[in-house]
Structure 1
Amino acid sequence: MMTSEEPTVPAEFSGPALSMPALSMPAWVDREAYPFTSKWFDLPDGRMHYIDEGEGDILLFAHGNPSWSFEYRHLIRHFSSTHRCIALDYLGFGLSDKPPHLSYLPQFHSANLGRFIEGLDLKNITLVFQDWGGPIALSYAVANPSRVSRIIASNSWFFDVREYPAVRRFSHIIGSAFGRMLCKHLNLFPRVLLKASFGDSSRLGPEVHAQYLAPFPTAAERKGTWVFPRAIVGESSWLAEIWARRHTLKDRPTLLIWGMKDPGCTPLLPRWTEVFTDHRLITLDDVGHNVAEEAGRHLIGPIASFLSDRSPS
């Protein structure tokens, strides 16, 4: 697993660490939409929540910011009848512990993902990810390619993105001290930026939106939502390390599902098609950044076709 020294992240998101008693579920979780059995994986810095549904070849779902395993609920409900669907919440997100003293840098999350994969001895994995799930999952995968059989990617990156003006501006603005204040005190990312990133914001109804707001009830629990945008540019060297080892995965069957109403990630798509020699591309002209949430059940058909055609040997 690639590692790099973690630079200091401001510790102003202070307050007591909050965690759920074992096997409990917060009252705000919509159990009709999210009917899965919760499990926890013990990490050095806290307990990571995950779900593990079904049997068969593994689909491992890695979320972005400010998301959690809830965003993949439609895919998990469908594919758990034919596959083993595993979706985790990084520390600082979803139903996992949120200790305020942690860095929450992407390499921290990737190291925890590696501990999780190896702790459960997961093999023959199809990685499913979007946003920061890309570099977090691929940082582990390029160092451990024998565990990965296929890739399903949406609106993500795993390389230095400083050459892309829109992405660079977003990182500088939201990753600034002012952005930190907005994330900490106003819960900016799930409250405002999540909805703004949709191609059609009406697709994020109030009931579903509430499931993304509720994991961050206090300032102390919102640190991770600010660290991620700062890291887009701040962790460029780490991202470049992943890109430098891209050859280890270039022949993996890959499905690219891209929301084209995403001004940040749409220009990044050619880099993906350049790397993966055995890829299938689906573009969604009216979908924005959060493809799994916005397109939902419409992804089932294309993903089922890909899984059927690209079955691991």
Structure 2
Amino acid sequence: MTWIDVREYPFESRYFDLPAGRMHYIDEGAGRPVLMLHGNPTWSFLYRRLLKRLRDNYRCVAPDHIGFGLSDKPAGWSYRPEDHADHLGAFIDGLGLNDITLIGQDWGGPIGLAYAIAHPERVSRIILMNTWAWPVNRDPHFFAFSAFMGGPIGRLLIRRYNFFARTFMRQEFADKRKLTPALHAHYLRPLASPEDRTGCLVFPKHIVASTPWLGELWTGIPVLSTKPALFVWGMKDVAFRDKELRRWERAFSNAHTVRLAEVGHFVQEEAPDELANAVITFLSKTDPA
């Protein structure tokens, strides 16, 4: 891909075959695996700086969900989060990952936690940024967003104008200067054509439409509640607030939180050094002697 800045993203592309298509992923370094999961409208590019910091000591694996990044974008597939979770399970099993440190942000949180809940023996540690994994259909904050962005007008805006990646993504930065044109291009190009945007436009609707699945997830969270956990939270996020962070803190008894006062939704882009430092400290403290 000639549009990718290889100085920013100097990784070898790999592909995993799924029934829906080929899933692109990065697999760098050796050691205990650290699995990094993105949300909407991003891809593994989001984790490039964390990958560079960790790959000397850990095996860093970062897939692109089907419909995002350099993965296939098949017509006619569902793109529901629960089906992404099934893909992730097949991917983890295919790579034979065990003793996993799971990192999730945005939709990467519930998609990754679905695997962790089903296979708690294979996930050792959890790191979350600005995400959720419970029903929000009765929360006006989320319901209004899902109804508009997942409804006919929102879907049209995404399909025709790439609205989610072009406009809404910028609004989720506290410091919009951090989203430079060159950086933004790496999120726009994978969704360049209307046909490529189905995954991006399906996710907002399923904030509410996948309520039964999210309810099952939250019911299962207690099987993970004593695992070492780290929350790195952008406190100026317009989507996931202090309210959501406090719910995570109540759910995990062995957790540490890093609050980033001047950071928005995309912690990986706005505070890459703070994130990497927090993750490295957490991993070093929880690695076996």
Where does structure 1 lack aligned partners over 5 or more consecutive residues? 1-25
Shift of 1:140: 1.2
TM score, norm. by length of structure 2: 0.98
In terms of fraction of residues, the more helix-rich structure is: 2
Contact 1:128 1:151 survives alignment (8 Å)? yes
Report the counterpart of residue 44 of structure 1 in structure 2: 19
1:264 pairs, out of 226, 234, 239, with: 239
Contact 1:37 1:51 survives alignment (8 Å)? yes
2:261 pairs, out of 285, 288, 291, with: 285
Percent of pairs with identical residues = 46
Shift of 1:50: 0.2
Superposed counterparts of 1:24-63, under 5 Å: 26-63=1-38
RMSD of aligned residue pairs (Cα, Å): 0.9
Answer yes or no: is 1:296 the counterpart of 2:272.
Answer: yes
Superposed counterparts of 1:203-214, under 5 Å: 203-214=178-189
Q: Which deviations, in whole Å up to 9, do the C-alpha atoms of 1:63-89 show, x marking residues without a partner?
A: 000000000000001100110000000
Report the counterpart of residue 73 of structure 1 in structure 2: 48
Q: Which deviations, in whole Å up to 9, do the C-alpha atoms of 1:246-278 show, x marking residues without a partner?
A: 111011100000111113211211210111110
Distance 1:51 1:289 in 2: 23
Report the counterpart of residue 75 of structure 2 in structure 1: 100
Contact 2:172 2:238 survives alignment (8 Å)? no
Distance 1:258 1:174 in 2: 24
2:162 pairs, out of 187, 206, 226, with: 187
Where does structure 2 lack aligned partners over 5 or more consecutive residues? none
| Cα 1:96/1:296, change in 2 over 3 Å | same
SS at match of 2:34: strand
Distance 1:225 1:36 in 2: 24
2:62 pairs, out of 60, 83, 87, with: 87
* Count of aligned pairs between the two proteins: 288
Distance 1:28 1:156 in 2: 29
The residue type equivalent to 1:295 in the other structure is A
Judge which range, 261-270 or 137-146, deviates more.
Answer: 261-270
Report the counterpart of residue 151 of structure 2 in structure 1: 176
Shift of 1:163: 3.2
Distance 1:220 1:159 in 2: 30
Contact 2:126 2:227 survives alignment (8 Å)? yes
SS at match of 1:95: coil
Shift of 1:312: 4.6
Runs (4+) of structure 1 moved beyond 6 Å?
none
Contact 2:134 2:215 survives alignment (8 Å)? yes
TM score, norm. by length of structure 1: 0.90
Distance 2:46 2:63 in 1: 11
Distance 1:203 1:167 in 2: 26
Shift of 1:297: 2.3
Distance 1:283 1:194 in 2: 21
The residue type equivalent to 1:244 in the other structure is T
